[in-house]
Structure 1
Amino acid sequence: MEKDPIVDDLQQQTYPEMDDESFVDRETAMILRLSLLPGLGPRTLTALLDRFDSAEGVFSAREAELASVHGVGAKMIHTIRTASHFVDVDSIVQWCKENEVSLLRPGQPGFPRPLDDLVDTPPVLFVRGKVLSQDEIAVAIVGTRHASVYGLKQAERFGYSLAKAGVTIISGMARGVDAAAHRGALNADGRTIAVLGSGLGQIYPPEHKGLADTIQQSGAVVSEYGPFAKPHAGMFPQRNRLIAAMGLATLVIEAPDRSGALITARLACEMNREVLAVPGPVSSRTSRGCNQLIRDGARLVQTVEDVLEELGPMFQAVEAEDGRTVRNASELILNELEREVLGAIEDTSTPIDQVIAKTNLPAHRVIATISVLEMRSLIRRLSGQYVSRI
């Protein structure tokens, strides 16, 4: 099979270690070069990797084979064949090393697992800071850049209260609602993740560079774009799919009827995530989109408890910040008695008498607590005397 010279070039290069735990191997370098080619969108990139199994396979493919992939025309084939003219992998890797940015691929520690649900999962992600397994207990908070005082207060309130409960706040670090939600989480000493519509070396808006520095100490700043990529309008809707995927739910706070926040909400709905909205005055242009979402079926929320009740089960059990194993986000609002009773109920049929004996609590308190847990969709009654975890 005919090979592109780029393959031989990359085989001869060794990429330096970025830290003690991560380094850029040859396949990562090839994926990096491929993913940053101009004009190559995430869906076509995914189609190429699915067709040829790896970036090396893409670069080694014959032109006729490349042309067989939907969305790949003569111009894109030429771009792939001359990829080294467009992407300087060495300078990108060096920049990442100097700025403590990790290059992560799906399946590697620190790559957000919920992104695997996307049909066009980024093949490489630039991460400044750390993404932890507990960040799967997350809510995306989005809204208008031109927020009112009311919108800013609600964004900060929900960011703060959810972070206090152990929920990671996902947003886009834009002006307005995004920044207020991040700051709310930071004020609660909680975790927050910013997903950028630009490269990590081109923070936008520029006045949020300090905010980005603070976020990476309490979470992460991530991007699928190369560090030198400047923001432009088309990058933000693409970025929004990552925000929607990383949250168990998307909470919209102030959004006009034509808003990027509504795109995020639609994407969340398509991915079977919950869509929540904070209502606003019917006379407010910036609340029109939220009110329409509620009219069309989004859950109206007023408190953090409203949000947590809607989050539902995790992708898989996650260890929360306090060390508890959480299967359902609504467990975060349980009191000590409710947690104790829930902990005594097994995945399989469990006699209520066994729960009473295990907790050593009065029967009437256990039965009342079981009713509460059932209403919160954490357990199910199998019969009058048996229950099980959901």
Structure 2
Amino acid sequence: MDVSELLYVLALQNIPNLGDSTAKKLIRHLGSAEAVLKAKKESLLKIDGIGSIKLKGLHDAVHLHAAETELKYIQDNTIGYTYYQDHDYPEKLKHCNDGPILLFSRGKIDLKNKKIISVVGTRNVTIHGTAFCERFIEELAPLDPVIISGFAYGVDITTQKAAIKNKLQNIGCLAHGLNQIYPKIHSRYIEQVEENGGFFTDFWSTQAFERTNFLKRNRIIAGLSEATVVIESAEKGGSLVTADIANSYNREVFAVPGRPNDSQSRGCNNLIKSQNAHLLTSAADLVYILNWDLNNGQSVVQKQLFVELDATEQPIHRYLRENGKQQLDTIALSCDIPTYKAAGLLLEMELKGVIRPLPGKLFEAI
């Protein structure tokens, strides 16, 4: 996209009532952002679904003036940008109707042919949530996925730090322009993120940071990835909004279960109970559901999990890996373990995330 068209795309992005979905519709009909801004309002109103409220202020000169200012900032600060019709625009985000028409970036981001997941959760992450998040990212590391999060407090920054530690490409989606970082204390991680990943946002440098921006930012987190993982969440929270958006995009959603009385687990438990998320006890659950490298990658994850099994659990896990789905009685007989003891061991292994129960008293290794 040349600089001239970029100017008009910025101007279109600056119109308050328009929105990305409507902007894309207008561009499809007229062919370019420049053509939209130069078209007569009467002709635009003939397009199905386009009303006068959405077009309010369309031809105001203030939008082009603002676009000129932002364009100068982009050029002076070497800000990356990608238009929704460009070949380098994130592929999965292209399929989101309300994805940004223009996405700004900084760092060394490469999403081509990559496995991508988003990890979100509460700002008030618990010790348990932190430990799970760090272990989860470590278990996924052999598969070299790109990790997306929001760079905010709690689960977000825990995820980014775990990705940095495991040398995984990680991307922070910001709820503000690239001229600032919120919270400021996380500025210490910017260089490490940009060395292997970077930042995305659709907010301008001139836009003031507001907490309501998080809701708009969340659609990018959900849209970039093939799955969204919720580590911990209260009964209400932004991470649940992200999960809802991911579901609306027909993406997979995973949630980590917790004890019923834990306030930071209620959101996750509700997602699982309402069947709006898969239960997640380990990285192997996600690998299985997403069908990631089942012949190679999953075995790597399984080897990491295998060290958690004690001497009585290892023969059961080995038997299920070699023989596939088996009934409780068959497992007990084949492993020379009393049925009551085998049932207890299988429960422990299920909680560890290395086997899963199936209908008909069947069990299989993950």
* TM bracket, shorter-chain basis: 0.7 to 0.9
Specify the alignment match of 2:297 in structure 1. 333
Residues 38 and 86 in structure 1, CA contact (< 8 A), matched pair in contact too: no
Specify the alignment match of 1:264 in structure 2. 242
Aligned letter for 1:300? L
Residues 287 and 298 in structure 2, CA contact (< 8 A), matched pair in contact too: no
The equivalences for 1:1-390 within 5 A come to 24-68=2-46, 70=49, 72-73=51-52, 77-85=55-63, 87-134=65-112, 136-297=114-275, 298-312=277-291, 328-330=292-294, 333-335=297-299
Residues 44 and 50 in structure 2, CA contact (< 8 A), matched pair in contact too: no
> SS where residue 117 of structure 2 aligns?
strand
Aligned letter for 1:81? H
CA shift at 1:203, angstroms? 2.0
CA shift at 1:100, angstroms? 2.9
* Unaligned ranges ≥5, structure 1: 1-22, 313-327, 337-367, 373-390
Aligned letter for 2:128? Y
**TM-aligned CA distance change 1:141 to 1:221, over 3 Å:** same
**TM-aligned CA distance change 1:167 to 1:178, over 3 Å:** same
> SS where residue 88 of structure 1 aligns?
helix
Residues 137 and 329 in structure 1, CA contact (< 8 A), matched pair in contact too: no
Report the aligned-residue RMSD: 2.6
- CA distance, structure 2, for counterparts of residue 202 and residue 214 of structure 1: 16
- CA distance, structure 2, for counterparts of residue 116 and residue 295 of structure 1: 31
CA shift at 1:278, angstroms? 0.8
Superimposed CA distance per residue, residues 260-296 of structure 1 (whole angstroms, 9 cap, x where no aligned partner): 1111111212222111111112111111000111112
- CA distance, structure 1, for counterparts of residue 201 and residue 244 of structure 2: 21
Residues 193 and 219 in structure 1, CA contact (< 8 A), matched pair in contact too: yes
- CA distance, structure 2, for counterparts of residue 296 and residue 174 of structure 1: 27
Aligned letter for 1:290? C
Aligned letter for 1:281? R
* Unaligned ranges ≥5, structure 2: 301-320, 326-366
Residues 46 and 121 in structure 1, CA contact (< 8 A), matched pair in contact too: no
Superimposed CA distance per residue, residues 248-271 of structure 1 (whole angstroms, 9 cap, x where no aligned partner): 111101111111111111121222
**TM-aligned CA distance change 1:131 to 1:272, over 3 Å:** same
> SS where residue 47 of structure 1 aligns?
helix
Superimposed CA distance per residue, residues 217-246 of structure 1 (whole angstroms, 9 cap, x where no aligned partner): 211200111123223233222221211121
Superimposed CA distance per residue, residues 349-372 of structure 1 (whole angstroms, 9 cap, x where no aligned partner): xxxxxxxxxxxxxxxxxxx99989
Percent identity between the two aligned chains? 30
Specify the alignment match of 1:12 in structure 2. none
- CA distance, structure 2, for counterparts of residue 284 and residue 34 of structure 1: 46
- CA distance, structure 1, for counterparts of residue 17 and residue 164 of structure 2: 37
> SS where residue 64 of structure 1 aligns?
helix
**TM-aligned CA distance change 1:45 to 1:269, over 3 Å:** same
> SS where residue 57 of structure 2 aligns?
helix
Aligned letter for 2:34? E
Superimposed CA distance per residue, residues 324-368 of structure 1 (whole angstroms, 9 cap, x where no aligned partner): xxxx454562559xxxxxxxxxxxxxxxxxxxxxxxxxxxxxxx9
- CA distance, structure 1, for counterparts of residue 3 and residue 110 of structure 2: 23
- CA distance, structure 1, for counterparts of residue 51 and residue 202 of structure 2: 21
> SS where residue 133 of structure 1 aligns?
coil
Aligned letter for 1:216? E
**TM-aligned CA distance change 1:71 to 1:234, over 3 Å:** farther
Superimposed CA distance per residue, residues 31-79 of structure 1 (whole angstroms, 9 cap, x where no aligned partner): 01211233432233233323323211211111212344546425x5452
- CA distance, structure 1, for counterparts of residue 63 and residue 247 of structure 2: 40
TM-score between the two structures when normalised by the length of structure 1: 0.71
Residues 142 and 297 in structure 2, CA contact (< 8 A), matched pair in contact too: no
Residues 148 and 225 in structure 2, CA contact (< 8 A), matched pair in contact too: yes
- CA distance, structure 1, for counterparts of residue 279 and residue 263 of structure 2: 18
CA shift at 1:129, angstroms? 1.5
CA shift at 1:138, angstroms? 0.9
**TM-aligned CA distance change 1:85 to 1:50, over 3 Å:** closer
Residues 110 and 130 in structure 1, CA contact (< 8 A), matched pair in contact too: no
Residues 198 and 223 in structure 1, CA contact (< 8 A), matched pair in contact too: yes
TM-score between the two structures when normalised by the length of structure 2: 0.75
Residues 162 and 169 in structure 1, CA contact (< 8 A), matched pair in contact too: no
